[in-house]
Amino acid sequence: MTDLIIKDALSFLLSFILVTIITPYVQKKSIEIGFVDRPNPRKIHSYPIPVTGGVALFLSFFISQFLIRGISREFLGFFIASSLILAIGLVDDWYKSQGREFGALPKFLVQVLACSIVFFMGIQIEGITNPFTHRFINFPVWFQYIATVIWLFGVTTVINFIDGIDGLAAGITTISGTTLFFVALMNLSIISTARVSTYMAAALVGVASAFLIFNRHPARIFMGDSGATFLGFVLGTIAVEGTFKVATVVSLIVPILTLGLPIFDNLFVIFKRIKEGKPIYKADKSQVHFRLLEAGLNQKQTVLFLYLVSICFSLTSLIIMLLARR
């Protein structure tokens, strides 16, 4: 256990320090090549801001994980899948920086491919335990695939959608990642992959919290779609490895509640867009942070309020898990 705690602490510290070193360099290069997010009617910033923070998040996370965990088949598969997530996000960000729109279909297909790679590398939602008979029900492989891909793609998308104002996505990731870290710790005795989840969660909290140094209001750099989708992809993977494999009803509820704010907000947005006949992938100002800004809160107040809501969701999920174990 001591060895685990030391590695978790190192995972957090390495990723945190790396972000503080890499981000300023990425920020400078982004400005030099014009890879910036320019103001438009939907944006709330009034001057161009570098949009390549995802590169710093990605590099810092994987350098720390390589040093802590080394290379394995699963690690390599996750690295390849995450690279696809980052790459397609960067393409999307580049198009936006040039005032153009990148097609939703290529992005969707690449993200589904990334989720599929993770599945075939063994990161899977395998089944559930019947709460009445306590018998494990193993899902058919086709259903395992669909459930895993939908979950990973869904979390990747909701974190990206909530990245609309300074510091929000990084802060929500920090809160959710911390919660999933403690959930994985509690599951160490019953899930063999929970140890890897603690390393990943510690590194994720490290990169997300360090990025807030540069991304809190007024932001000096944005994480872009590349960074937000990467953070969401990692969060989804941690939940599968550290929570879902317990295969109980509670283990399904906990990660959903942990990510309750972005999940429920985006469900609201999707239903609203469907009702209004709008494409669900078309960006607008229907997310909760935009609604709070329109209600009169400033950016800092909006972010702090949503942090509080996210903390409440996370604490509720931990309480439910603890009560279920009594």
Q: In the prediction, which pLDDT does 40 show?
A: 59
Q: How far is CA 296 from CA 109, 156, 291, 293, 301, in A?
A: 39, 29, 9, 5, 10
Compute the chain's Rg from CA coordinates: 19
Tens of pLDDT along 214-251? 999 888 999 999 999 999 999 999 988 877 766 666 77
- Which of the residue ranges 27-36, 83-92, 96-105, 281-290 would you say has the lowest mean pLDDT? 281-290
* DSSP 8-state class, residue 49: E
The DSSP code sequence of 156-188 is HHHHHHT--STTHHHHHHHHHHHHHHHHHHHTT
C-alpha angle 170-15-200 in degrees, rounded to nearest 5: 80
Tens of pLDDT along 90-104? 999 999 888 888 888
Q: In the prediction, which pLDDT does 190 show?
A: 66
CA distance 201 to 256: 16
Contact (Cβ atoms closer than 8 angstroms) between residue 103 and residue 237: no
Residue 140: CB atoms within 10 Å: 9
pLDDT over 90 (residue 80): yes
Whole-structure pTM value = 0.93
pLDDT over 70 (residue 39): no
Q: In the prediction, which pLDDT does 231 show?
A: 97
pLDDT over 80 (residue 319): yes
CA distance 142 to 312: 35
Token code pair at residue 162: 């909530």
Token code pair at residue 184: 């994985």
Q: What is the mean pLDDT of residues 199-218?
A: 95
Q: In the prediction, which pLDDT does 229 show?
A: 97
Residue 319: phi and psi, rounded to 5, are: -65, -45
Calculate what percentage of the chain has a pLDDT beyond 70: 90
Residue type, 59: L
Closest to 311 (Cα-Cα) out of 258, 262, 268: 258
Q: What is the mean pLDDT of residues 179-205?
A: 84
CA distance 12 to 208: 10
Q: In the prediction, which pLDDT does 65 show?
A: 93
